[in-house]
Homo-oligomer: A and B are copies of this chain.
Amino acid sequence: MRFVELAAKRESCRKYKKMPVEREKLLACVEAARMSPSACNSQPWSFVLADDADLTSKVAETLQEKITGLNSFTDDCGAFVILVEENANLSSKLGGRFKDQEFAQMDIGIAAQSMCLAATDEGLGSCIIGWFHEKALKALLDIPIKKRIRLVIALGYPDSDHPRAKSRKPLETVLHINRW
């Protein structure tokens, strides 16, 4: 499969079949993230994989807002990977401070996209979630209180065979060629 096809199949999936996901497939997703590039190769990340059925239902609760129904789809996800920021190495940290850039967060984004593309390749749906109750999620998974959770990746078998058309800004509004 050409990359363009894989990228088109990858979508933020918000409808899952309530069923477990094979551990092997989940590890393939984590592996793709682990092998991602990062600023000065500092790999400022840890991954917490939650795939125990009792646990995933509790994780789902920390991702939801009952009043608005936000992320209620996560009740049906087979697994979650929590992306925790780790200390970057010195060159990445100093460079980021000097240049006012959050390299570690860009690195987490890079790893998240690798993971989602690997999920698509494994026949899984995925959704990158940035809204969660961080304190509750840390407590649930024993993640040290001082660390920051940056993203949660929801994973599972999608309850749809057809990717939606993607809604994106037109090329001409986002691309400048050889000058602004």
Interface residues, chain A, with chain B CB atoms under 8 Å away: 1-4, 6-8, 10-12, 28, 30-32, 34-37, 39, 41, 43, 45-52, 55, 95-96, 99, 101-103, 105-110, 112-114, 116-118, 120-121, 128, 130-131, 134, 141-144, 150-151, 166-169, 171, 174-180
B35 and A141 contacting across the interface, CB-CB below 8 Å: no
A144 to B174, CA, bound (A): 14
Q: How far is the CB of A158 from chain B (nearest CB, A)?
A: 15
User: Copy number in this complex?
Assistant: 2
The 10 A-B residue pairs with the shortest CB-CB distance in the complex, in nearest-first order: A109-B109, A106-B109, A3-B121, A142-B180, A110-B113, A109-B110, A113-B113, A48-B176, A102-B105, A102-B102
Cβ of A28: which chain B residues have Cβ within 8 Å of it?
4
Residue of B nearest to A167 (CB): B41
